[in-house]
Amino acid sequence: MTIPFFGRTPIESKALVAELPELGYTDAWSAEVAGTDGFVPLALAAEWAPGLRLGSAIVPVYTRGPALLAMSAATLADVAPGRFVLGIGASSPVIVRNWNAAEFDRPYARMRDTLRFLRTALAGEKVTASYETFDVKGFRLERAPATPPRIVLAALRPGMLRLAAREADGAITNWLSPGDVTRVRAELGEGVELIARLFVVVTEDADAARAIGRRLLAAYLTVPVYAAFHEWLGRGEVLRPMHEAWAAGDRQAAVKAIPDEVVDDLVVHGDAAACRARIREYVAAGLDTPVLAPLPGGPVSVEQAVRDLAPGLG
């Protein structure tokens, strides 16, 4: 499950987070865009729901220095020994450059270098190294975690997926259909954990669900990395009207230009039983860890959706 829940602060999410293990959920994953950061909700969940595995999906590699990122990861690894997974990603130029005044340059190399640095630092070793995208001189964690966290990479296309398979402990992807999972898995290979956030609208009103999904899809799929991802997946032509409208500054037309079949491919919707069946399709296609993100705005509250989607219900 994604935490904190949409429209709620971490503290407002406390009771429902504590309920997740009883409902059959195994994991709680944070996100980091323009709301809560990626670490604090996980630290709170470590206390509220001690049985959950905790992961960040994702924290950007540009917006914290390498040493600070290692310190944050080490802290969570100590708070939740053996239960924390560090998910890192390149993020996007808007988040990195426009919002955080950092350079978004050579994302593949920066991800590779950050991963290699973190492996060494979180093992407790002193790091003095010149990487392709940054240098580190004489850094050592004051307290290395007894159990270093697993590290997984946000990966949308072959190069990053292969890097995740070679050097990381898994890959995180986003905005894909069960059929797309098959293609992603083919690049990643077997035996490597594949994680994906699945956006869910629990309602039998397909038009209402599509309206909610379209708004979010337009915001994501116009980001260059997601545009390239869906070009690779074969949706370039069907999404071209959306991209053209967005480039012309007509946001409403861009939203309307997303076809129903694309929304139905990428957003899980229907009654709770239909949603659970759709989630099982992702797993059958090769997804190891579906991270659900129930969306607000429909007739079913987020709290009720979390309970209705519980894995224990089958």
pLDDT at 228: 96
Give the DSSP per-residue string, 158-219.
HHHHHHHHHHSSEEEEES--HHHHHHHHHHH-TTSEEEEEEEEEEBS-HHHHHHHHHHHHHH
* Residue pair 237/248 in contact by the 8 Å Cβ criterion: no
pLDDT at 312: 78
Sign for the pseudo-dihedral over CA of 287, 73, 37, 227: negative
pLDDT at 314: 64
Measure the CA–CA gap between 76 and 122, rounded to whole angstroms.
12
pLDDT at 138: 98
Structure tokens at 38: 């990626």
pLDDT at 196: 98
Output b/e per residue, 270-284; b: 16+ Cβ within 10 A: bebeebbebbeebee
Residue 106: alpha-carbon gap to chain centroid: 21
Place of tokens 């594949």: 194
Measure the CA–CA gap between 133 and 3, rounded to whole angstroms.
32
Q: Which residues pair with 28 in a beta bridge?
A: 54
Structure tokens at 143: 């307290």
Single out the residue of 226, 151, 232, 221 nearest to residue 193, CA to CA.
151
Give the DSSP per-residue string, 62-108.
SSS-HHHHHHHHHHHHHHSTTTEEEEEE---HIIIIIIT------HH
Structure tokens at 210: 């599509």
Measure the CA–CA gap between 277 and 11, rounded to whole angstroms.
31
Burial, 50: exposed, middle or buried (Cβ in 10 Å; 0-12, 13-18, 19+)? exposed
pLDDT at 97: 95
Give the DSSP per-residue string, 107-137.
HHHHHHHHHHHHHHHHTT--EEEE-SS-EEE
Residues of the chain with pLDDT under 70: 314
Residue 148: alpha-carbon gap to chain centroid: 20
Cα angle: 38, vertex 40, 45; to 5 degrees: 105
* Residue pair 198/293 in contact by the 8 Å Cβ criterion: yes
Measure the CA–CA gap between 78 and 34, rounded to whole angstroms.
26
Residue 11: alpha-carbon gap to chain centroid: 21
Phi, psi of 201 (to 5 degrees): -125, 110
